Amino acid sequence: MTHLDLPVREGMPDGPRLPRVLQTVLFLTARAVVSPLWRKRYGDTYTVRLAGGRTIVSVSRAEDIREVFAGSPSVFHAGEGNAILAPVMGENSVLLLDEDAHLAARKRLMPAFNGAALRGYHDMMTRLAEEAAEKWPLGKPFAAHRTMNAVTLEIILRVVFGMGEGERLARLRPLINKVTDIGGVSVLGWAFPRLRNVWPWKRNIDNLAAADALLHEEIAERRGQPDLDTRGDVLSRLLAADPDAPAAELRDHMMTLLLAGHETTATALAWSLHELSRHPAALRAAQAAADAGDDAHLQAVAKEAMRLRPVIYSVGRRLTEPTVVAGHRLPRGTVVSPSIGLVQRDPDNFDAPEEFRPERFLDASPESGTWIPFGGGVRRCIGAGFSLQEAAAILKAVLVRYDLEPVGSPERAKSRNITLIPSGGAKIIARRR
């Protein structure tokens, strides 16, 4: 018997009784540490109460997650659940919109990420990945996360903006890194506007404003180009489809794709290299796949890294009306949060979940609701295919060239903005094969 067969429970699920401010700090800075503890104490469904009156109900059973992802988009508002991202992504971001507005934005962006478009990006991805791999230091420790950030940023800038080398691109690269390189506490500045005039939050706002200025310059210049129909980048595609598209809307789409499509893949790749360096058999199998051009195996490496080391620990849906979720009748305004980190390490879903086994993604597809790094339902990430293709291209460029060795003990995950990154930068040593 499942909870679906039981009477509906009235009232919020149990959860920590800590002060809201302390729960907020723990949620933003140590979610991967406290979530398993809270689940053990309060069960698969529990309530977290944050400062500002925000109430989150975490769900971690696959059947409950499927229920949330299959829920009506008019009831389960993902855009409202992502509201904390608004100061950076912008009000027109596909991540912040709901219902018809979300579907319209998604429809405009999807052609840039369909099968034909992905095939068109392959050669560029491969070239940039190979150029970056050739510059790796040999025989000494270095932070793989930094190198992965650099190459994925380069790829996304070329794909999203079609930007060539020049002063504007050179100025934009470090600004994008500064926008993303903030800790969990700094995210409070997104949620509480009064903090934005206080250091270090003001510095973050200034970095974002400088990046925005460059993006608007690029949009204005591109709008006047006569060859938009022949360009393959996302910005040109959007302008060709709608020459009068507002600059603010284009900026929000571009910033969303830049940030969501760059840092998450970079971090997944850093974790992939971190794990491969510590698992010789998995490394040898991945190198053989790289030599043979077996992209399916290389994507399985990235998928397993995303499962074991989730970049985003949870997602959110804000209820627009009272709704039964996981057997509880939840009030309007509750944010229901499928926990990526908990469901993907549940032994009910994956054998030996603490072990790094890329082959589990070759043998069979995971059951729905158990592997969700790209979310699910109508909100599933439009760049999922792009991310996996990019990961395979970069892993191939690295693994055909190098053997990898670990540095020190396995690294823990630490919070950076809303992501979880390797605490030491995923340090490894590379040697020529």
Higher pLDDT, 267 or 209: 267
Q: Considering the chain, what percentage of its residues have pLDDT values greater than 70?
A: 94
Q: Is 246 a residue whose pLDDT tops 80?
A: yes
- What is the Cα–Cα distance from 30 to 28, expressed in whole angstroms? 6
d(CA 13, CA 46): 5
pLDDT at 86 over 80: no
pLDDT for res 369: 95
CA R_g for the chain: 21
Q: What is the token pair recorded at 227?
A: 């060859």
Other C-beta atoms within 10 Å of 332: how many? Answer: 11
209-237 pLDDT, tens digit each: 888 898 899 899 898 888 888 888 888 98
Least confident of 106-110, 181-185, 202-206, 419-423: 181-185
CA distance 250 to 408: 44
Superfamily of domain 3-432: Cytochrome P450 (1.10.630.10)
Confidence of residue 339 (pLDDT cuts 50, 70, 90): very high
pLDDT single digits (tens) 353-385? 999 999 999 978 899 999 999 999 999 999 999
pLDDT at site 138: 97
Q: Nearest 5°: phi and psi at 409?
A: -80, 160
Specify which residues 413 forms β-bridges with: 422
Average pLDDT of the segment spanning 13-23: 94
Q: Could you give the angle at the alpha carbon of 403 between the alpha carbons of 400 and 405, nearest 5°?
A: 150
Mean pLDDT of 186-198: 62
Answer positive or negative: Cα dihedral of 165, 91, 247, 199. negative
* Residue spans of beta strands (DSSP E) within 168-263: none
**Residue 1: its pLDDT value, please?**
44
Phi-psi domain of 157 (left: phi exceeds 0; alpha: psi -120 through 50; beta: other): alpha
Higher pLDDT, 116 or 370: 370
Domain range summary for the chain, segments of one domain joined by + = 3-432
Which residue, among 352, 345, 356, 354, has the nearest Cα to 275 in the 3D structure? 356
Per-residue model confidence (pLDDT) at position 200: 65
Residues 370 and 345: their CA atoms lie apart, in Å, by: 9
Strands 45-49, 335-338: pairing is unpaired
SS3 70: coil
Kindly give the residue spans of alpha helices, DSSP state H, lying in 157-200: 167-180, 188-191
Classify residue 401 by its DSSP letter.
T
In three-state secondary structure terms, 9 is: strand
3-state secondary structure of 125: helix
User: CA geometry: angle at 89 spanning 245 and 19, to 5°?
Assistant: 150
- How far is Cα 134 from Cα 30, in angstroms, rounded to an integer? 36
Three-class secondary structure of residue 389 per DSSP? helix
User: Taking a C-beta distance cutoff of 8 angstroms, is the pair 251, 212 a contact?
Assistant: yes
Cβ neighbours of residue 95 under 8 Å, at least 6 residues apart?
78, 79, 82, 85, 89, 256, 260
pLDDT on residue 198? 66
Please state the φ and ψ torsions of residue 42, each to the nearest 5 degrees: -110, -10
Phi/psi at 325 (nearest 5 deg)? -135, 130
Asked if the model's pLDDT at residue 88 lies above 90, the reply is no
Tell me if residue 358 falls in helix, strand or coil.
coil
pLDDT given at position 188:
57
Express each pLDDT in 141-165 by its tens digit.
999 999 999 999 889 888 888 877 7
- Asked if the model's pLDDT at residue 38 lies above 90, the reply is yes
Over residues 86-93, the mean pLDDT reads: 84
Q: What is the pLDDT of residue 196?
A: 64
Beta strands in 320-407 (DSSP E): 323-325, 328-330, 335-338, 402-406
Nearest-angstrom CA–CA distance, 95 and 192: 20
Q: What's the whole-number average pLDDT of the chain? A: 90
399 or 51, higher pLDDT: 399
Helix (H, G, I), strand (E, B) or coil at 56: strand
